[in-house]
Amino acid sequence: QVQLVESGGGLVQAGGSLRLSCAASGPTFGSNSMGWFRQAPGKGREIVAAISWGGGSTYYADSVKGRFTISRDNAKNTVYLQMNSLKPEDTALYYCAATSYTRVSFLVGEYGYWGQGTQVTVSS
C-alpha cells in the first residue's frame, strides 16, 4: 500500500515558479512509476507529467513541455514537480499518483494510489 502526501502549492503571479513535492510511504515506492495530474474547476483530471520507477523515462503533457520538470529521489521516497513560467491556465488542484507499473504511464486509469492534492493558483 502506497500513501502519498503533496505539498508546495500556493498562490503565485504569472511567470513565477513553484516546486511541488510528493512524499510517499510504503514498501514498494521504488518500483512504482509516478505521475502528477491536475484538475481545474469544471474540468476532468488530466496528466501533467509522469516518471518511470527508475527515473529514466518521463512524459509531459504538451501544455507544460519546456516549463515543468518531474523528478524523483527514491532514497527520500519523494517525487517533485518543478513548475516554471507559470500561466493562469495552470491554476488547478494538483495530485500526485502512483501506479503499479514500472514503465511510465500517462493514463489516469492505470494509477491506483492518489494523494489529497495541493492547490496551485496563478494570478495574471
Secondary structure (3-state) at 40: coil
User: What pLDDT does residue 32 have?
Assistant: 85
Tell me which H or E stretch contains 22: strand 18-25
pLDDT in tens, 72-105: 998 899 999 999 999 999 999 999 999 988 899 9
User: What pLDDT does residue 31 have?
Assistant: 77
The three grid cell numbers given for residue 40, joined into one nine-digit string: 481545474
The three grid cell numbers given for residue 104, joined into one nine-digit string: 511510465
- Whether residue 91 contacts residue 41, with contact meaning beta carbons closer than 8 Å, is answered with no
User: What pLDDT does residue 55 have?
Assistant: 87
CA distance 79 to 34: 8
